[in-house]
């Protein structure tokens, strides 16, 4: 994917301190041209901070932001050619859709004819022609998001940043818009960073996911890598729903087993007793009492339950963690 | 209930209007003969020398210059204060509140000395200097609150689009602050329009008097009777421009509010 070794966006040892607090700690990250990277993590993990540093809205306390090998760290937000879609969309409430799009171009002195041509093109691309004279207050959530996206793409940015662009929309609309957003954003030549706290959205939108927690990068990789080969307990429990079972079987090791990897049968290593059953339609989630505590098991909805159910699993699905640090221990060791 | 509030606040004004239209004798006892109504009070006020509109325009000039100057200074102050973090912001904010609460009356003697030593007496434009200084704390506080209400992301979006500070203020922030600017402006204008102590001491030339002083002087010519009717007529005439101003600004305030904010 990389044309030259330096192409794309690179964050090098990026830090951000606010007073005594370190919001972001030595982040190293690369995003290739045309790649969509999701920054995923719980609120306060540093993902929005990272985005603001890339955009230049906040100054970095240490480290560098490089684009195609060019150092952007000391440039202001207006000189970086970065476009950003905000969570609230941040449309200018006193201007029409057209006015919202035109303001940036006008200020930068783009001639009227050129301005008009570009606005028409983007209005067509995002199917906003009929809404062009409306004010933001007269638009639905989905329409506002499209306008915000149009404003971001209009300036032909070198980097596109999206800060939880879907979190103001209802779940159904979110799923409908995801492929559309992918079509518009990804596979162009710019790197795209997509911030979200929703793992489904991250998996649906991104080529790779960078998982953050407490201002530190936990792991970066494809969704499959993060799911199958988590670097630590946080990654293992953040990704995958229902969440992984963490069992304190031994004093110095903790066993992680995903609910979808557990089997219930007449024979198995552990005895279990059914506590509760959640029926999800395509699957059911069973809550079982075991000697190590409650364990969640995902099975097909009509699976008959044995009279004395026992749990079993395959050795390859075991994930072992250090109970104190949460670090992953070497695979399959006993 | 609403009617009660309406009567409560409009009552004095309506009484003033009635007084201004009555013959002086009709004020104390019902007249036995003839109509109690007259326009003589207005004739008296308007036929004075210099004519009444002169005072009106003096006050309007001072008021407009004061309002313009105050807003011009208050907008950057409020913006800067809003962006400020830490103890400085807190301290300056507290200082402004203290300044806004300070009783003006305690200042006018000192101000008079200043006027004397800088040769600012009998100058309408100079009069707007102390007025601006006195209005500034409140105006900055009001506008700062208005800036604080604007979502930060709006300005961030504008910064990303390459708008510099002036452009952000002109194209994004100030249009959204329209209602706040209008209401702050009205308050400043009113304060200047009604101010008495400083105007009394700074202005002595008859043709440069502002409205409150001119009205007070109406009574000065007669010792034994107080010309209530003339007072009332002058007050009514002096309130008309304010009424017009508030009506106009009210339209701006209301239309600003219905524009719709960022909220989803």
Asked if the Cβ–Cβ distance from A136 to B163 is below 8 Å, we say no
- Within 8 A of B260 by CB-CB distance, chain A residues are 93, 135-138
Region for A157 from its dihedrals, namely left if φ exceeds 0, alpha if ψ lies in -120 to 50, beta otherwise: beta
Interchain proximity A91–B160, CB inside 8 Å: no
Residue contacts between A and B (CB atoms, under 8 Å): 82
Cα separation, B180 vs B134, whole angstroms: 19
**What does the pLDDT read at residue B32?**
67
Give the whole-angstrom CA distance, residue B3 versus residue A51.
56
CA nearest neighbour of A40 among A168, A195, A192:
A195
Q: Does the distance separating the beta carbons of B160 and A84 come in below 8 Å?
A: yes
Contact A144 B264 (CB under 8 A): yes
- Contact criterion met (CB below 8 Å) for A77 and B160: yes
**Per-residue tokens: B65:** 């210059």
Q: Which residue has the higher pLDDT, A180 or A97?
A: A97
For residue A223, give Cα distances in angstroms to A42, A229, A262, B3, B230. Answer: 17, 10, 21, 67, 86
pLDDT of residue B263: 40
Among B159, B163, B264, the strongest candidate for a mutation testing the A interface, having the largest count of A CBs within 10 A, is: B264
Q: Give contacts of B252 with chain A, Cβ < 8 Å.
A: none
Q: What CA–CA distances, in Å, run from B58 to B43, B125, B210, B213?
A: 20, 10, 6, 11
Asked if B160 and A78 come within 8 Å (Cβ–Cβ), the reply is yes
Query: Cα–Cα distance between B143 and B120 in angstroms, integer?
Result: 30
Cβ contact A76–B159 (<8 Å): yes
Q: Out of B157, B163, B175, whose CB is closest to A86?
A: B157
Q: Which of B171, B176, B263 sits opposite A103 (nearest CB)?
A: B171
Give me the residue from A82, A92, A136 closest to B160, CB to CB.
Answer: A82
| Interval A252-260 mean pLDDT | 90
Would you state the pLDDT for residue A306? 81
Return the pLDDT at A334: 42
**CA of residue B236 relative to chain centroid, distance:** 16
B261 at the A interface (CB within 8 A)?
yes
What's the number of CA atoms in the CB half-sphere (13 Å) around residue B12? 5
Read off the pLDDT band of A293 (50, 70, 90): confident
Highest mean pLDDT (candidates A239-248, A293-302, B66-75): B66-75
The pLDDT of residue B224: 65
Least reliable range by pLDDT among A66-80, A83-97, B106-120, B122-136: B106-120
Chain A: give the shortest CA distance to residue B161, in Å: 5
Torsion of CA B18, B23, B29, B34, to 10 degrees: -110
| Structure confidence at residue A187 (pLDDT) | 67
Tokens, residue A190: 């710019």
Nearest to A98 by CA among A126, A139, A140, A128: A128
Quick one: DSSP state of residue B207? G
Q: 3-state SS string over chain A?
A: CCCCCCCCEEEEEEEEEECCEEEEEEEEEEECCCCEEEEECCCCCCHHHHHHHHHCCCCCCEEEEEECCEECCCCCHHHCCEEEECCCCCCCCCCCHHHHHHHHHHHCCCCHHHHHHHHHHHHHHCCCHHHCCCCHHHCCHHHHHHHHHHHHHHCCCCEEEEECCCCCCCHHHHHHHHHHHHHHHCCCCCCEEEEECCHHHHHHHCCEEEEEECCEEEEEECHHHHHHCCCEHHHHHHCCCCCCEEEEEECCEEEEECHHHCEEECCCCEECEEEEEEECCCCEEEEEEECCEEEEEEECCCCCCCCCCEEECCHHHCEEECCCCCEECCCCCC
A163 CB neighbour count, 10 Å cutoff:
23
Farthest CA pair distance, chain A: 78
- Cis before residue B256, ω within 30 degrees of 0? no
Residues of B in contact with A79 (CB under 8 A): 162
For A159, the closest chain B residue by CA position comes to B160
- Chain A CA closest to residue B152: A90
pLDDT string in tens for chain B (264-residue length): 888 998 888 888 888 888 888 777 777 776 666 677 777 777 777 777 777 888 888 888 999 999 999 999 999 999 999 888 878 888 888 999 998 888 888 888 888 888 888 888 788 888 888 899 989 999 999 999 899 989 889 999 999 998 999 999 999 999 998 888 988 998 899 889 888 888 888 888 877 888 888 887 776 665 666 777 778 888 888 888 888 888 888 777 665 554 444 443
Residue in chain B lying closest to A160 (CA)? B160
Contacts of B171 in chain A (CB under 8 A): 92, 103, 107
Tens digit of each residue's pLDDT (9 = 90 or more) over A127-172: 888 999 999 999 988 889 889 989 998 888 999 999 988 887 888 8
Within 13 A of A69's CA, how many CA atoms are on the CB side? 6
What is the nearest CA distance from A211 to chain B, expressed in angstroms? 25
Cβ atoms A88, A164 nearer than 8 A: no
Top pLDDT among B49 and A37 is at A37
Name residues whose C-beta falls within 8 Å of residue B129's C-beta, 6 or more positions apart in sequence: B120
- Picking from B158, B159, B160, the nearest residue to A83 by CB comes out as B160
Q: How far is B182 from chain A (nearest CA, A)?
A: 16
Interchain contact B154–A (C-beta under 8 A):
yes
User: Given CA atoms A107, A110, A116, A118 in this order, what sign does their dihedral have?
Assistant: negative
Please name each of the domains of chain B with its CATH number: 48-257 (1.10.3720.10)
pLDDT for A80 beyond 50: yes
Q: Is residue A4 pLDDT above 60, yes or no?
A: no
Q: At what angle do helices B52-83 and B174-194 cross, to 10 degrees?
A: 140
Is B183 in contact with B67 (CB distance < 8 Å)?
no
Contacts of B81 (CB under 8 A, 6+ apart): B89, B92, B93, B140, B144
For residue A239, what are its two tokens?
């990704």
CA angle A125, A131, A134 (to 5 degrees): 140
- As a whole number of Å, the end-to-end CA separation of chain B is 36
Q: Which domains does chain A have, with CATH numbers?
A: 9-233 (3.40.50.300), 241-321 (2.40.50)
What is the ipTM score, two decimals?
A: 0.83
Mean pLDDT score, A69-89: 90
Q: Does the beta-carbon distance from A90 to B154 stay under 8 Å?
A: yes
């Amino acid at each position: 994917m990389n044309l030259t070794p330096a192409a794309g966006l690179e964050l090098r040892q990026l830090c951000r301190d606010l007073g005594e607090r370190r919001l972001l700690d030595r982040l190293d990250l690369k995003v290739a041209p045309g790649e969509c990277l999701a920054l995923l993590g719980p609120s306060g993990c540093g993902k929005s901070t990272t985005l603001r540093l890339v955009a230049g809205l906040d100054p970095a306390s240490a480290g560098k932001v490089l684009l195609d090998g060019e150092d952007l760290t000391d440039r202001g937000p207006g000189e970086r050619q970065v476009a950003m879609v905000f969570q609230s969309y941040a449309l200018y409430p006193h201007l029409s859709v057209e006015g919202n799009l035109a303001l940036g171009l006008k200020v930068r002195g783009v001639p009227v004819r050129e301005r008009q041509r570009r606005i028409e093109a983007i209005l067509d691309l995002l199917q906003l022609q009929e809404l062009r004279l409306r004010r933001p207050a007269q638009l639905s959530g989905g329409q506002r998001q499209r306008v915000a996206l149009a404003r971001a793409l209009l300036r032909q940015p070198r980097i596109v940043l999206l800060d939880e662009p879907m979190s103001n929309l209802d779940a159904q609309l979110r799923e409908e818009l995801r492929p559309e957003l992918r079509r518009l954003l990804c596979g162009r030549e710019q790197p795209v960073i997509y911030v979200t706290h929703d793992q489904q959205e991250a998996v649906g939108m991104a080529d790779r996911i960078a998982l953050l927690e407490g201002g530190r990068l936990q792991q970066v990789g494809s969704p499959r890598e993060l799911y199958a080969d988590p670097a630590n307990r946080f990654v293992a429990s953040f990704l995958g729903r229902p969440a992984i079972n963490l069992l304190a079987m031994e004093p110095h090791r903790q066993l992680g087993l995903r609910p979808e990897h557990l089997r219930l049968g007449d024979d198995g290593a552990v005895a279990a007793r059914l506590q509760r059953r959640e029926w999800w339609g395509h699957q059911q989630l069973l809550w079982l009492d075991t000697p190590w505590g409650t364990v969640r098991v995902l099975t097909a909805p009509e699976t008959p339950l044995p009279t004395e159910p026992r749990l079993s699993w395959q050795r390859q699905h075991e994930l072992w963690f250090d109970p104190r640090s949460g670090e992953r221990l070497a695979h399959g060791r006993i | 209930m609403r009617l009660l509030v309406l009567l409560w606040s409009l009552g004095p004004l309506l009484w003033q209007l009635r007084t201004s239209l009555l013959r002086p004798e009709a004020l104390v006892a019902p007249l036995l003969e003839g109509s109690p109504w007259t326009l003589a009070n207005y004739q008296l006020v308007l036929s004075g020398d210099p004519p009444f509109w002169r005072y009106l325009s003096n006050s309007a000039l001072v008021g407009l210059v004061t309002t313009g100057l105050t807003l011009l200074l208050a907008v950057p102050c409020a913006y800067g204060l809003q962006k400020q973090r830490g103890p400085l912001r807190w301290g300056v904010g507290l200082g402004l509140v203290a300044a806004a609460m300070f009783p003006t009356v305690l200042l006018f003697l000192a101000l008079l000395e200043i006027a004397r030593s800088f040769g600012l007496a009998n100058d309408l434009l100079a009069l707007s200097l102390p007025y601006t200084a006195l209005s500034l704390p409140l105006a900055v506080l009001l506008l700062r609150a208005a800036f604080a209400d604007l979502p930060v992301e709006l300005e961030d979006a504008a910064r990303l689009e390459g708008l510099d500070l002036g452009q952000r203020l002109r194209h994004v922030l100030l249009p959204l602050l329209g209602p706040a600017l209008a209401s702050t402006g009205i308050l400043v204008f009113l304060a200047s329009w009604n101010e008495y102590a400083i105007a009394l001491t700074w202005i002595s030339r008859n043709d440069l008097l502002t409205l409150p002083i001119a009205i007070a002087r109406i009574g000065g010519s007669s010792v034994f009777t107080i010309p209530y009717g003339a007072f009332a007529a002058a007050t009514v005439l002096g309130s008309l421009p304010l009424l017009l101003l508030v009506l106009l600004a009210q339209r701006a305030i209301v239309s600003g509010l219905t524009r719709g904010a960022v909220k989803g």
